[in-house]
Amino acid sequence: MAKDKKLVEAITSMEEDFAQWYTDVVKKAELITYSSVKGCMIIRPAGYAIWENIQQELDRRFKETGVENVYMPMFIPESLLEKEKDHVEGFAPEVAWVTHGGLNELQERLCIRPTSETLFCDFYKDIVQSYRDLPKVYNQWCSVVRWEKETRPFLRSREFLWQEGHTAHATAEEAEERTVQMLNLYADFCEEVLAMPVVRGQKTEKEKFAGAEATYTIEALMHDGKALQSGTSHNFGNGFAKAFGIQYTDRDNQLQYVYQTSWGMTTRLIGAIIMVHGDDSGLVLPPRVAPVQVMVIPVQQQKEGVLDTARDVCERLGKVCRAKLDASEKSPGWKFSEQEMRGIPVRVELGPRDIAEGKCVVVRRDTREKIEVALQELETKIPELLETIQKEMFERAKAHRDAHIWDAHDYEELKGIAAEKTGFVRGMWCGEEACEDKIKEEFAMTSRCMPFHDQERIAETCVCCGKPAHKLVYWGKAY
Amino acid sequence: MAKDKKLVEAITSMEEDFAQWYTDVVKKAELITYSSVKGCMIIRPAGYAIWENIQQELDRRFKETGVENVYMPMFIPESLLEKEKDHVEGFAPEVAWVTHGGLNELQERLCIRPTSETLFCDFYKDIVQSYRDLPKVYNQWCSVVRWEKETRPFLRSREFLWQEGHTAHATAEEAEERTVQMLNLYADFCEEVLAMPVVRGQKTEKEKFAGAEATYTIEALMHDGKALQSGTSHNFGNGFAKAFGIQYTDRDNQLQYVYQTSWGMTTRLIGAIIMVHGDDSGLVLPPRVAPVQVMVIPVQQQKEGVLDTARDVCERLGKVCRAKLDASEKSPGWKFSEQEMRGIPVRVELGPRDIAEGKCVVVRRDTREKIEVALQELETKIPELLETIQKEMFERAKAHRDAHIWDAHDYEELKGIAAEKTGFVRGMWCGEEACEDKIKEEFAMTSRCMPFHDQERIAETCVCCGKPAHKLVYWGKAY
């Protein structure tokens, strides 16, 4: 029994040290291992399978909106990166440089893509000639590199996996429509699949993407009250098109610049899942994204008929959900701890007495609730239960999020909230970067977004400087 | 009509210049575009969709054999690459080196993975302790970089996409079994999905992978009579384990080294599809790997009811195969050329008279055969036709391959075949590298493999030196 508890005891509690708890979960649930390259991680099968489910579901949703996948080179020549002024300023300080190919020094050094706007622009310049060639709605799944100083598994690493969509349109309106469409797709995906409520909104000038006219974002609240930017969608207007010379002939035979967007989501989402749903026993995965949804665990498996019945149950469940059998030699208690640590949404406990009575014990990972279910009803009850868990996990996360949104009407109130509370702070903003800087400096909070669906005027004046203010901003400490 | 023909006229004929024909197809079918980085290509939607189908089918087959996916960093520290002597000698001359991260020079330079044996070894060293941790059967989908001097789209580029499987086993037997299993999986995939017959066999010492004990390969014959190595599977024995110190405690509590394998397939397969099945009108895709299997092309689409019927037909077909409608403003002739160029296996032509008669004209891409099909029978006839095409494409490719295998019993005969024929040459080999070198020098042919299923002794002596020989080798000019 001492051995059974070891797996769990090794985790720091969330309340005690959230950062350490996070690291413990990431390692103990075998999501990642550190590699011999500083700041780069190895994504292990349990972690990568989550990413595969995210990919599959996002890709399906993308394609429904007409997205086509492509693959661009991982290298960007230095001269190409430099073509758009704001963009290069934003990224040049944090890229990795290739200077040698084989035994020879390169004539021009190449950076490893931190993002691929410049490559797509160079490509679109060649393949877009006429209005008939538009729109181009391309995406790629790949890894990118940003030479970060401080790294944390999934949240910030020197190499990470993502998708980056890049589109070109005939009109500004169409580009804006696509930018918003993809942000909403991201938000729906987070809420429906990851059971993670998000605030949809626009970034301020200070926080927007290097080279963009407007950046839209979804912001989620982690269990420790910090915000996590979970997906962004950028409208570039025709700025990049002008820098790269991407023009098309319109129906009136006039040369026009295209309007562009880009949008991305990353393996950071796995970090979000951990920090929104996890608990002191480890990971808690929403059923829709869980690689294994049900773990069947036999009790007293050496007794006649137990393993056979467990196999049969697992096979039947396999037809209605992603089920797995743990028939290893470990003790049931150890298996329970492992299943909990790995966040598998449901376990089915099955011993000789259960079998004799034609039932089993079903345990929810999220609430620990135990339910007796007749063996013959498993195929209907388990999928229902998975749906219930999915729904309730979202509701709980939303209730937690909503309970951690505070309104600050003036500076004093902001100061009080910053000192006593965690979560999002809603506060009016005058539009000056100086106020953003001050709030960041004083309270380590940044403007997360100006929400789309919530432009209530909670005050007439800026929460920082007291001047007239029209914009409601969500402020928060962020990862 | 002149305009309609332009698309086709732009292709060089295969007989005239096969290399130029290949380049023309690759570009005109919009599979790739050259990028601004020398030797790197942009894989366009039509090309990437083929890769997605390859990935999906291979991944499904992998997982059925217990493979789990992971993701390793793209960087390998120089000291790690150097740990296995043969391996570093094989790869160091052709890797790209990262020397700077952001504004700083790195303390140790990092190469971009040309392959990831060293990273997996470093990983397995950490996570394998006991026999209970074995086997590890991991795979990753990623891009790799090899700084090639001469490059050709899909066949040889500085960056390419692939999967690399890396496994660790308790015994040499189990490693050998996995090596062979994966080679057979590759061969079956090529034959069943890509309609491409392959020769399965073992590489000679000279041709085997850097660091491997044995390399198995599948070799396919292209339309011009050249061979293409299409997939390889390596048995490392415990050589890497010794170099990296990957040990486990066995059931008797003794420390043992693990036995390892690796196996990979790449975007080169797309080049193989082109060169095995293509013709002077462009690409010809086997139905199972074709992103679009049926293109519905309306004729006189401005006439009432034509587009509506075409839409209806496409929707109905969409339930039984991957169907698409070309409702653009181009002429039918132009659309036919495009569909042919892109290798879409079947087109459905549908005009007002057809509709009145309740039928349509179905045209096979591979044979140009035209078949009248009643509209109401499309859902049954088209899937049958796609299966027929798949089967016959394989049979034709096999007949072509078999008609290009020549037996050489001695040096004179080899010389004659090399001068007059193209294809594989079967010839006995004494086992000496000197003979391989001589055949390469004289006839530009390399030993492709020693076939598994065909160790007939066609002579008693080496085709090169005349000394006693026991091994039958397939020789050929190769890409």
Average pLDDT over residues B134-152: 96
**CA–CA min distance B73, chain A (Å):** 6
**CA–CA min distance A149, chain B (Å):** 10
Q: Which two tokens stand for residue A123?
A: 């490509």
> Is there a contact between A220 and A468 (Cβ–Cβ < 8 Å)?
no
**CA–CA min distance A470, chain B (Å):** 39
pTM: 0.96
Which candidate from B35, B80, B123 shows the least CB-CB separation from A73? B35
User: A68 vs B49: CB contact, 8 Å cut-off?
Assistant: yes
**CA–CA min distance B355, chain A (Å):** 29
Task: Kindly tell me the burial class for residue B452, based on how many C-beta atoms sit within 10 Å of its own C-beta (0-12, 13-18, 19 or more).
Answer: middle
What pLDDT does A2 receive?
Answer: 40
- 3-state DSSP assignment of residue A269: helix
Q: How many beta carbons lie within 10 A of that of residue A223, not counting itself?
A: 20
Residue range B294-385 forms a domain whose CATH class is alpha beta
Task: Calculate what percentage of chain B has a pLDDT beyond 90.
Answer: 93
Rounded CA-CA distance A104/A101 in Å is: 6
Place of tokens 């004799």: A356
pLDDT tens string A400-455: 999 999 999 999 999 999 999 999 999 999 999 999 999 999 999 999 999 998 87
- pLDDT category of residue A85 using cuts at 50, 70 and 90: confident
CA distances from A263 to A200, A330, B43, B145 (A): 14, 45, 20, 26
Chain B residues whose CB is inside 8 A of the A36 CB are: 77, 80, 119, 122
Residue among B247, B194, B236 nearest B218 (CA): B194
Domain boundaries, chain B: 14-277, 294-385, 405-476
User: A45 vs B36: CB contact, 8 Å cut-off?
Assistant: no
Place of tokens 């309306």: B298
Rounded CA-CA distance A283/A340 in Å is: 7
Interface-testing mutation among B48, B119, B149, B161, with chain A (most A C-beta atoms within 10 A): B48
Our CA dihedral for A112, A114, A115, A118, rounded to 10 degrees, sits at -60
> Is there a contact between A386 and A397 (Cβ–Cβ < 8 Å)?
no
> Is there a contact between B142 and B114 (Cβ–Cβ < 8 Å)?
no
Please give the CATH topology (third level) of the domain spanning A292-385: Rossmann fold (3.40.50)
> Would you call B405 an interface residue with chain A, using a CB distance cutoff of 8 Å?
no
DSSP-H helix ranges across A376-432? 378-402, 411-420
Q: φ and ψ at A322, to 5 degrees? A: -90, 95
- Single-letter residue type at B25: V
Rounded CA-CA distance B259/B241 in Å is: 7
What lies within 8 Å, CB to CB, of B64 at 6+ separation is: none
Which candidate from B45, B123, B143 shows the least CB-CB separation from A74? B143
Interface-testing mutation among B36, B43, B149, with chain A (most A C-beta atoms within 10 A): B36
Which candidate from A42, A70, A145 shows the least CB-CB separation from B44? A70
Average pLDDT, chain A: 95
Number of H helices, E strands in chain B: 15, 23
> Is there a contact between B242 and B151 (Cβ–Cβ < 8 Å)?
no
pLDDT tens string B191-245: 999 999 999 999 999 999 989 999 999 999 999 999 999 999 999 999 999 999 9
User: B103 vs A93: CB contact, 8 Å cut-off?
Assistant: yes
Rounded CA-CA distance B292/B339 in Å is: 10
Please give the CATH topology (third level) of the domain spanning A405-476: Translation Initiation Factor IF3 (3.30.110)
> Would you call B98 an interface residue with chain A, using a CB distance cutoff of 8 Å?
yes
Please give the CATH topology (third level) of the domain spanning B14-277: BirA Bifunctional Protein; domain 2 (3.30.930)
Q: φ and ψ at A214, to 5 degrees? A: -145, 140
- pLDDT category of residue B10 using cuts at 50, 70 and 90: confident
Residue among A396, A244, A397, A363 nearest A294 (CA): A363
> Would you call A327 an interface residue with chain B, using a CB distance cutoff of 8 Å?
no
What pLDDT does B8 receive?
Answer: 56
Residue A7 has pLDDT above 60, yes or no: no
- Single-letter residue type at B327: A
What lies within 8 Å, CB to CB, of A388 at 6+ separation is: none
Chain B residues whose CB is inside 8 A of the A48 CB are: 68-71
- Would you say how long chain A is, in residues? 479
Q: Which two tokens stand for residue B119?
A: 């990273």
**E strand residue ranges, B259-379:** 259-266, 294-298, 323-325, 346-350, 359-364, 370-374
Average pLDDT, chain B: 95
User: B73 vs A159: CB contact, 8 Å cut-off?
Assistant: yes
Place of tokens 């044996």: B117
pLDDT tens string B258-312: 999 999 999 999 999 999 999 999 999 999 999 999 999 999 999 999 999 999 9
User: A93 vs B73: CB contact, 8 Å cut-off?
Assistant: no
Chain A residues whose CB is inside 8 A of the B69 CB are: 45, 48-49, 52
> Would you call A346 an interface residue with chain B, using a CB distance cutoff of 8 Å?
no
User: A42 vs B93: CB contact, 8 Å cut-off?
Assistant: no
User: A43 vs B98: CB contact, 8 Å cut-off?
Assistant: no
**CA–CA min distance B27, chain A (Å):** 12
> Would you call A145 an interface residue with chain B, using a CB distance cutoff of 8 Å?
yes
The CATH number that domain A9-277 falls under is: 3.30.930.10
Rounded CA-CA distance A219/A228 in Å is: 6
Residue A16 has pLDDT above 90, yes or no: yes
Which candidate from B41, B95, B99 shows the least CB-CB separation from A102? B95
Q: Which two tokens stand for residue A417?
A: 């909230």
Which candidate from B52, B99, B126 shows the least CB-CB separation from A97? B99
pLDDT tens string B81-124: 998 888 888 888 899 999 999 889 999 999 999 999 999 999 99
> Would you call B37 an interface residue with chain A, using a CB distance cutoff of 8 Å?
yes
Chain B residues whose CB is inside 8 A of the A100 CB are: 96-97, 99
